[in-house]
């Protein structure tokens, strides 16, 4: 339980959902974790839960759309803990229903790109100088989305933004790898959280589970476990990778579920 012992981690958007799962597992593995987001009350609940379990964590306000807020987060973290080893870029505007190309306004497009690409870029930019001072560099983990795997009926801006995160990941890994700074991206599949479970219709769950290779949809800890590995020294030779954590959803041809219903292997 000491895979991240002595490391300092920032997990953006960690006041709810996937971010909470990541932060709690980081703390359980020995990291000092900065919980950040706009909702202070929820953030302090997460901090308290970590402290009760014997971990170390603190809350810091951050608005991923405000550059000065992001800069202050990093400056205060390093002032408090002396360094920064891990950054998880999790904060984003989940716009899964943002629409088709003809339905989107420029304002909708810009809002999603501002939080999902611009925010991730700027947080990475802020983290780099601090990680460059570390003898062992650091690990940056971007949270992407299966939406970037291919075209879909909607969520156009969100999918395009997350595709940008994929390439930002590879560019960062290439440009700073020789300084021992690694960058990887985790693309979650359907992750049901305490916050979104009531809003995910059973019909949607059924569609996903018919295409997932395992017998359930995902939970925040599924993403957290992958992030622990990518943040730890165990993954020292892993960088520039885009890892799907989706129960195998994107690893087969798209007609599998329909042929299963026909009790057939192929046409």
Catalytic residues: 158
Question: Do residues 92 and 116 touch, judged by C-beta distance below 8 A?
Answer: yes
142-178 as b/e: b if 16+ CB within 10 A: bbbbbbbbeeeebbbbbbbbbbbbbebbbebbeebee
CB 87 within 8 A of CB 123: yes
Give the whole-angstrom CA distance, residue 26 versus residue 31.
6
Question: Under DSSP, is residue 132 helix (H, G, I), strand (E, B) or coil?
Answer: helix
CB burial of residue 102 (10 Å; 0-12, 13-18, 19+): exposed
Q: 216, 208 in Cβ contact below 8 A?
A: no
CA torsion, points 149, 195, 110, 162, in degrees to nearest 10?
-20
Q: How far apart are CA 128 and CA 23, in angstroms?
A: 21
Euclidean distance between CA atoms 96 and 48, whole angstroms: 31
Q: Partners of 87 in the beta sheet?
A: 10, 140
- On whether the CB atoms of residues 264 and 258 are closer than 8 A, the answer is no
Residue 61 contacts residue 38 (beta carbons within 8 Å): yes
Q: Which two tokens stand for residue 27?
A: 């703390």
């Amino acid at each position: 339980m000491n895979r991240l012992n002595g490391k300092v981690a920032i997990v953006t958007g960690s006041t709810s959902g996937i971010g909470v799962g990541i932060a709690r597992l980081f703390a359980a593995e020995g990291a000092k974790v900065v919980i950040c987001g706009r909702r202070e009350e929820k953030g302090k609940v997460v901090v308290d839960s970590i402290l009760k379990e014997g971990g170390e964590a603190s809350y810091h306000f951050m608005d991923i759309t405000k550059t000065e807020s992001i800069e202050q987060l990093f400056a205060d973290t390093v002032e408090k803990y002396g360094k920064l080893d891990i950054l998880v870029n999790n904060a984003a505007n989940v716009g899964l229903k943002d629409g088709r190309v003809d339905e989107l306004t420029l304002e909708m497009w810009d809002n999603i790109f501002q939080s999902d690409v611009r925010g991730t870029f700027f947080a990475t930019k802020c983290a780099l100088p601090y990680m460059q001072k570390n003898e062992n560099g650091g690990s940056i983990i971007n949270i992407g989305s299966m939406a970037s795997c291919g075209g879909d009926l909607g969520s156009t801006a969100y999918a395009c933004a997350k595709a940008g995160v994929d390439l930002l990941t590879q560019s960062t890994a290439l440009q700073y790898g020789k300084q021992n700074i690694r960058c990887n991206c985790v693309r979650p599949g359907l992750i049901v959280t305490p916050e979104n479970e009531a809003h995910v219709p059973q019909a949607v769950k059924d569609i996903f589970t018919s295409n997932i290779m395992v017998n359930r949809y995902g939970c925040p800890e599924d993403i957290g476990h992958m992030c622990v590995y990518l943040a730890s020294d165990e993954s020292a030779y892993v960088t520039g990778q885009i890892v799907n954590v989706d129960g195998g959803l994107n690893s087969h041809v798209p007609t599998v579920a329909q042929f299963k219903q026909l009790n057939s292997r192929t046409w």
